[in-house]
Amino acid sequence: MSNSSARPTPLVGHPTALLEVQELSCRFGGLLALDRVSFSVQPGEIFGVIGPNGAGKTTLFNLISGVTPASGGAVCWRGEAITTLPPDRRNRLGVARTFQNLRLFEGLTVLENLLVALQRQPRSTALAGLLNSPRHRRAETQRLEKAWQLLEELELDRLAERQAGTLAYGDRRRLEIARALATGPALLLLDEPAAGLNPAEKEGLAALIRGLRSRHQLTLLVIEHHVPLLMRVCDRMAVLDFGVRIALGTPEQVRRDPNVIEAYLGGGA
Amino acid sequence: MQTLLNGAAAGGVYALVALGYTLVFSVLGVINFAQGALFSLGGYLTFLLMGGRISANGGLPGWGLPLALPFAPALLLAAMGAALASLLVERLAFAPLRQRNAEPLLSLITSLGAGLVLVNLLQLLMGAEGYAFPAGTLTGLPAAISLGGARIRSVQVLLLVICAAAVLLLTLWLERSRGGRALRAVAEDPTTARLLGIDSDAMVRLAFLLSGALAGLGGGLVGVSVSLPGPYFGIGYGLKGLAVLVLGGLGSVPGAIAGGLLMGLAEALVPADASGWRDALAFAILFAVLLLRPSGLLGRRLVEKV
Amino acid sequence: MERHAAERHAPVSRWGCTNVIDNGLLVQMLIGALLGVSVYLPLAAGQLSLATPAFYAVGGTLAALLSTRWAALGAGADGSFPLPSFLLELLLAGALAGLLALLVGRLVLRLQGIYLAIATIALVEIVRVAILNLPFTGGAIGIFAIPQPFATASGYLVPALALLALAGWGCQRLEGMPLGRAMAAIRDDELAARCMGIDTTATRLSAFVLSAVLAGSTGALAAHFLNTWNARQGSFDASITTLAFVILGGSRSWLGPVVGGLLLTALPELLRPVGDVRLVLFGLVILLGPVFFPRGLITPGLLERIGGRRQEAPR
């Protein structure tokens, strides 16, 4: 074990990979939702995960973001195991996510949703906040500036004062992305970003994802039902079926993989 | 021997109260804080039905019912009275909130409000002081019997027997009868139960009716075996029942019974010179259990779906 | 607790009935408002904690003990008490309650929803029984003849108002800083908050401790004001009554519990002319209030209308 942290790290990942998933398994009662799934994501990549319904895609995201505990295997971040860290610690290391079923802070305004996520950028102490010290005011100004930048980037600025719960579906999806970006991640996990969008919005999504990568120096891991979209935007992808990774490679390789054709066509999907 | 019996008898009463909470919790997922007040009501109704008269400080001094029933029918009628009052609590404190789809949290407040109204009406009618059942209330029963060389109070035996019978009947009814199965179906999954043609509102009312009867029964039994120390006496039992409820796991019938007995016995084992601390014991145990096993001894774990 | 104070402080007018709102009742109302804010704080972070009366009792007991037993604080033979010592007690009571909350909170805040509520009720009962049975807290009678920093009930208006102003100011500040936003986020969706990097354990604990500090200081103030202090001050009824302050007043802004606390503390006294029926009526208000005002009296919409803030036009 090369690292010196107090926590024992049973598995140490490859140092050049940003995220590495090693033999990851998740069991719910008698159901094996994920069965020894492995892959690694390199910095700057857009990595897609596809698979039929119930293949374990969202479970995979829950394990990577720390929402669900893994039953076996490891999640490594920049070569160090983070499998037992809670979600907030993982976020602070640079892992941010969106939710397929949208979990905005619906009682708060759009702007406040971003300010929540910006709470450590920059840090300020509670005492400074209570006393409204100059330092706290500077921090607040910076937070507001960053929030407005993100709102403009995702075309939400005119909705800033609206309650998040009252937004249209497409706007909520973009707010989820903006909120995740506000935490300053290195890796962004997008869970079905195209779900519920209209055709025009879906069309814009590919450009949005590429734009996010270049503007924020991001690595992206995207789950998507809409396979053609992912084929266009991803550098590499993994295919899950019944919790097992059945293929891995560039979109071109995956498209020709007999296992994938079997899973998508053989299953009658 | 007497200690253990005392413990088991108290435990039986706690189990009755906890079962009352359990019935309502399993169908509605909320706690009915009026349970303690219904317990008081049961005690006072038993007293009045047996021919007890209101003292000089009550709202109607010297008044009493024009009848003096023996203990058994009086207890049964009191339990029925508490059951009807429980139905009224459901009508006033729970039904309006359910119709409006309001936050479940609000029913904590409204049910406590209903309990406050009930207890204070009792106080208005009966006065704040305590009542004792007259000696010889249980005709034909010797004050004490000897068992294996030890003399024990027979009223405690009676209390334990009645509690056990009530718990057994309820469990059998839940397991075996049509109504019991329907109630369990609603507790398991209200939507599916409705699709199967079960009237879930009727089941909610049934749960309140039964839980009120259990509370009334407990109040009458405690009144006869100890005394009625004032209209608020049920609140204390209500709180202990709450501790038992969590100890056994919310919504678990065997848990409520086991938890009640455990709690009663634990309290009985507190030495006499520390008896002042007895009331804290239930909550200290509750605290420990919650920290070690948040879903209770026999409860199910809840998992949030993402 | 209401009865003691009212009997001691209420001036009897020449008509033979008590003045409806006198300064003594005003102080009680302010104490109610403070306790309401104390229940509101954890609720603002999505935690249904009913522990406020426990911390109130701890703070009051500490103040009662210190002022009657510790001569260095300067209690006079005539029952007077120096103001600086009184202020010191407010601080110490808040600190002790906060410390207790820090210890207890680490354990109980792992619990969610109704389990947390019941665990905090258990805490209230344990504290009540402890105060009743400890050898130095005066048993059922309690501690009496607590020295008075002020000659009249009106004197307590100033510290009570100051404490409430401080609490309100703190709540207002919270809304514009990371801690308060984290609390609001947890209340809306705890899991999403964790995924946004919020240390929910620390945030919930902060809200719990702030709530306890406020309740502890309020208890110290109340102990002097009431003149006697016993285990009845923090009971299960008080747990639910203080929760009712928040629910009836409105739980979306700190003004809600303030209004709820003021009104519901005054109500039993205002109903005094109707005699013993008043407690029944009080119960009816608690029973029917949430039915008619499920979101409480003070809602964000109401505040916007009062504040004249432009409401966002619905599309």
Predicted pLDDT of residue C52? 96
Cross-chain Cβ contact A129/C191 below 8 Å: no
Chain C residue with minimal CA distance to A97?
Answer: C195
Residue A55 lies in a domain: no
B2 within 8 A of B194, measured Cβ to Cβ? no
User: Quick one: average pLDDT of A224-228?
Assistant: 85
CA distance C102 to C287: 34
* Residue found by looking up tokens 């202990």 in the block: B240
B256 within 8 A of B246, measured Cβ to Cβ? no
Residue B264 is inside which H or E element, if any? helix B253-268
DSSP B105-135: THHHHHHHHHHHHHHHHHHHHH-SS-B-PPT
CA distance A124 to C51: 30
- pTM to 2 decimal places: 0.87
Cross-chain Cβ contact B242/C119 below 8 Å: no
Q: Which of C177, C201, C310 best tests the A interface by mutation, with the highest count of A CBs <10 A?
A: C177
Q: In the numeric block, which tokens belong to residue B187?
A: 């507790």
Cross-chain Cβ contact C291/B304 below 8 Å: no
Which among A18, A11, A17 has a CA at the least distance from the CA of A36?
A11
What band does C307 get if pLDDT is binned at 50, 70 and 90?
low
CB nearest to A88's CB, from C187, C200, C252? C200
Catalogue the E-assigned strands of C88-193.
Answer: none
Which among B152, B225, B157 has a CA at the least distance from the CA of B1?
B152
On whether any CB of chain B is under 8 Å from the CB of A124, the answer is: no
> How many domains, in total, are found in chain A?
1
Q: Shortest Cα distance from A121 to chain C (angstroms)?
A: 10
Chain B residue with minimal CA distance to C130?
Answer: B277
Chain B residues lying within 8 Å of C294, measured CB to CB: 97, 100, 102-103, 106
Higher pLDDT, C168 or A260: C168
User: Quick one: average pLDDT of A194-205?
Assistant: 87
Residue A81 is inside which H or E element, if any? strand A80-81
Domain ranges of chain C: 2-11+25-307
User: B251 by DSSP, 3-state: which?
Assistant: coil
Alpha-carbon dihedral sign for residues B265, B266, B267, B270: positive
CA distance B183 to B207: 8
What band does A269 get if pLDDT is binned at 50, 70 and 90?
very low
Full pLDDT tens readout for chain B, 306 residues: 678 888 888 889 999 999 999 889 888 888 899 999 999 999 999 999 988 888 877 788 878 888 888 888 999 999 999 999 999 999 999 999 888 887 777 888 899 899 999 999 999 888 888 888 876 666 666 667 776 666 677 778 888 888 888 888 888 888 888 888 888 888 888 788 888 888 888 889 999 999 999 999 999 999 888 888 888 888 889 988 988 888 887 778 888 888 899 889 988 888 877 778 888 888 888 888 877 776 665 555 444 444
Catalogue the E-assigned strands of C62-164.
Answer: none
Chain A residues lying within 8 Å of C173, measured CB to CB: 129-130, 132
CA distance C258 to C262: 6
Chain C residues lying within 8 Å of A165, measured CB to CB: none
Q: How many residues does chain B have?
A: 306
Q: Shortest Cα distance from B295 to chain A (angstroms)?
A: 18
Chain C residues lying within 8 Å of A101, measured CB to CB: none
* Residue found by looking up tokens 């960053």 in the block: A146
Phi-psi region of B197 (alpha: psi -120 to 50; beta: other; left: phi over 0): left
Chain A residue with minimal CA distance to C185?
Answer: A105
Strand partners, A46: A220
On whether any CB of chain C is under 8 Å from the CB of A27, the answer is: no
Chain C residues lying within 8 Å of B272, measured CB to CB: none
User: Quick one: average pLDDT of C129-155?
Assistant: 87
CA distance B283 to B262: 13
A108 within 8 A of A163, measured Cβ to Cβ? yes
Which among A28, A15, A9, A112 has a CA at the least distance from the CA of A70?
A28
Chain pair A-B, CB pairs under 8 angstroms: 6
CB nearest to C181's CB, from A91, A92, A119? A119
Residue A85 lies in a domain: no
CB nearest to C114's CB, from B31, B118, B121? B31
Per-residue pLDDT for A164 more than 90?
yes
On whether any CB of chain C is under 8 Å from the CB of B110, the answer is: yes
Predicted pLDDT of residue C1? 38
Cross-chain Cβ contact C294/B100 below 8 Å: yes
Report the CATH architecture of B2-292: Orthogonal Bundle (1.10)
List the strands of the sheet with A244-249, edge to edge.
Answer: A95-97, A187-191, A219-223, A46-50, A236-241, A244-249
CA distance C64 to C216: 12
On whether any CB of chain B is under 8 Å from the CB of A108, the answer is: no
CA distance A51 to A54: 8
Cross-chain Cβ contact B294/C111 below 8 Å: yes
Strands A72-77 and A80-81: antiparallel
B303 within 8 A of A62, measured Cβ to Cβ? no
CA distance B115 to B119: 6
> What is the topology classification, in CATH, of domain C2-11+25-307?
ABC transporter involved in vitamin B12 uptake, BtuC (1.10.3470)
Predicted pLDDT of residue B65? 83
pLDDT per residue as tens digits for the range C167-199? 999 999 999 999 999 999 999 999 999 999 999
Chain A residues lying within 8 Å of B306, measured CB to CB: 58, 62, 67-68, 99, 101
Predicted pLDDT of residue A7? 47
Cross-chain Cβ contact B280/C126 below 8 Å: yes
Chain C residues lying within 8 Å of A121, measured CB to CB: none
- Which of A73-77, B249-253, C225-229 shows the lowest per-residue confidence on average (mean pLDDT)? B249-253
User: Among residues of chain C, what percentage have pLDDT more than 70?
Assistant: 90
CA distance C60 to C219: 4
Which domain range does residue A150 map to? 107-166
Chain A residues lying within 8 Å of C299, measured CB to CB: none
Chain pair A-C, CB pairs under 8 angstroms: 97
Chain B residues lying within 8 Å of A56, measured CB to CB: none
Chain C residue with minimal CA distance to B242?
Answer: C118
Q: Which of B88, B94, B101, B105 best tests the C interface by mutation, with the highest count of C CBs <10 A?
A: B105
Residue A239 is inside which H or E element, if any? strand A236-241
Up-side HSE of residue C282: CA atoms within 13 Å toward CB?
A: 24
User: Quick one: average pLDDT of A111-120?
Assistant: 93
Residue A84 lies in a domain: no
Cα torsion through A222, A225, A227, A229, rounded to 10: -60
Per-residue pLDDT for A114 more than 60?
yes
CB nearest to B112's CB, from C111, C280, C286? C286
Per-residue pLDDT for A203 more than 90?
no
